[in-house]
């Protein structure tokens, strides 16, 4: 029940469950970081820390 509330809070209620959300062969790099001021400003409004905290609480 808690997980469903978290998914709704972050507008992810239609997400499909998977065992690994990202395949192991994908690599993250600095090139994927926001590069313009507009992108940086947008990303400051995305509540990633809150989402991660909510998921950690569920564990």
Question: What's residue 48's pLDDT?
Answer: 85
Question: What's residue 45's pLDDT?
Answer: 86
Question: What's residue 53's pLDDT?
Answer: 92
Question: What's residue 46's pLDDT?
Answer: 83
Say whether pTM exceeds 0.85: no
CA-based R_g, the chain, Å: 14
Angle at which helices 2-9 and 48-58 pack, to 10 degrees?
Answer: 170
Question: What's residue 59's pLDDT?
Answer: 85
Q: What averages of pLDDT result for each successive group of 10 residues across the chain (59 residues)?
A: 91 86 85 93 88 89
Question: What's residue 16's pLDDT?
Answer: 86
């Amino acid at each position: 029940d808690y997980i469903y509330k978290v998914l709704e809070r972050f507008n992810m209620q239609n997400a499909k469950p998977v065992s690994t959300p990202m395949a192991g062969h994908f690599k993250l790099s600095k090139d994927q970081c926001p590069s313009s001021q507009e992108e940086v400003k947008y990303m400051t409004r995305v509540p990633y820390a809150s989402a991660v905290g909510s998921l950690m609480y569920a564990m």
